[in-house]
């Protein structure tokens, strides 16, 4: 989601066992849909074709898109290619060998939301792009490892940025992760940078969407004339990974892993 400062002051929901089960079910839809889309990614396919597959997957699983109609967003999912960072709109574009496609999927099932994103190489990508993808996914997992009771939101972002910076890359600062559950975007904001021990305290029952975007060049982004697509200011490529994660007594439970 788009970062707004100051952070929303509203309280952070603590989910009951029943609510958590419902979020888990929505998250499973997301995971399944991403797995199907990943299989379909190949040179020549149009992003609109992937959108149709996503819509069919949601329908089959008794769910619907969480992005379609969100502040007027026109897509069943977000598809962002190469220098597009997030919120790309599916259309006539055909994927080509060497592209990097980011699939960001939000599903709603029985009133609850799940949200995840992956970066998928189309065929063989340049080595620096393969490395970008690897470091971004590792950064997500470094952030997830901090999502446990007693830690703070800042611990998540700190771990993410530290991993990214250690590899000479930069995190995008204009978008943040977020709480999720009865809406796609709930408090708290989850920045991909931060200071350890700062921000809201993490407690069992919280559910967070953690979603680093990492660039090969500058961190700066701009929005295209379509009003949605965020691209890097310098045209360098970007990667994005996201999971929906529940904070439990035992630590992080990643809800959007494919089962
Ligand atoms: N993962 C994205 C986000 O949290 C999905 C929403 S895209 C939107 O911002 F276009 F619907 F906003
Ligand atoms: Co999200």
Sequence spans of domains, the chain: 14-254
**Do 154 and 146 contact (CB within 8 A), yes or no?**
no
**Do 190 and 242 contact (CB within 8 A), yes or no?**
no
Q: Which atom of ligand 1 is nearest to the CA of 104?
A: 1
Q: Which atom of ligand 1 is nearest to the CA of 211?
A: 1
73 lines ligand 1 (CB under 6 A): yes
**Do 184 and 71 contact (CB within 8 A), yes or no?**
no
Structure token pair of residue 145? 């490892």
106 lines ligand 1 (CB under 6 A): yes
d(CA 55, CA 61): 10
Q: What is the CATH number of domain 14-254?
A: 3.90.230.10
pLDDT digits (tens, 9 = 90+) for 61-113: 999 999 999 999 999 999 999 999 999 999 999 999 999 999 999 999 999 99
pTM surpassing 0.85? Answer: yes
The residue whose CA is least distant from atom 2 of ligand 1 is: 1
70 lines ligand 1 (CB under 6 A): yes
Q: Which atom of ligand 1 is nearest to the CA of 1?
A: 9
pLDDT digits (tens, 9 = 90+) for 131-161: 999 999 999 999 999 999 999 999 999 999 9
Q: What is the rounded end-to-end Cα distance, in angstroms, of the chain? A: 26
pLDDT of residue 58: 99
- pLDDT higher than 60, residue 7: no
d(CA 80, CA 21): 30
67 lines ligand 1 (CB under 6 A): yes
Gap from CA of 71 to ligand 1 centroid (Å): 10
d(CA 63, CA 18): 18
């Amino acid at each position: 989601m788009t970062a707004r400062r100051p952070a929303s002051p509203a309280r952070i929901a603590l989910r009951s066992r029943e609510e958590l089960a419902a979020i888990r079910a929505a998250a499973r839809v997301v995971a399944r849909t991403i797995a199907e889309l990943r299989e379909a990614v190949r040179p020549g396919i149009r992003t609109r074709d992937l959108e149709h597959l996503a819509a069919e997957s949601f329908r089959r699983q008794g769910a619907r898109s969480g992005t379609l109609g969100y502040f007027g967003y026109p897509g069943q999912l977000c598809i962002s290619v190469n220098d597009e960072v997030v919120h790309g709109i599916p259309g006539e574009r055909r994927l080509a060998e060497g592209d990097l496609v980011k699939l960001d999927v939000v599903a709603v099932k029985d009133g609850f939301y799940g949200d995840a994103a992956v970066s998928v190489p189309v065929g063989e990508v340049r080595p620096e792009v393969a490395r970008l993808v690897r470091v971004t996914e590792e950064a997500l997992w470094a952030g997830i490892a901090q999502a446990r009771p007693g830690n703070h939101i800042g611990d998540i972002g700190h771990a993410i940025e530290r991993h990214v910076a250690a590899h000479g890359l930069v995190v995008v600062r204009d978008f943040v992760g977020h709480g999720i559950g009865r809406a796609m975007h709930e408090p708290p904001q989850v920045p991909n940078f931060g200071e350890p021990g700062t921000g809201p305290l993490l407690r069992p029952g919280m559910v967070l969407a953690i979603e680093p975007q990492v660039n090969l060049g500058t961190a700066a982004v701009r929005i295209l004339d379509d009003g949605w697509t965020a691209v890097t200011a310098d045209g360098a490529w970007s990667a994005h990974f996201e999971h929906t994660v529940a904070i439990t007594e035992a630590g992080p439970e990643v809800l959007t892993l494919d089962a």
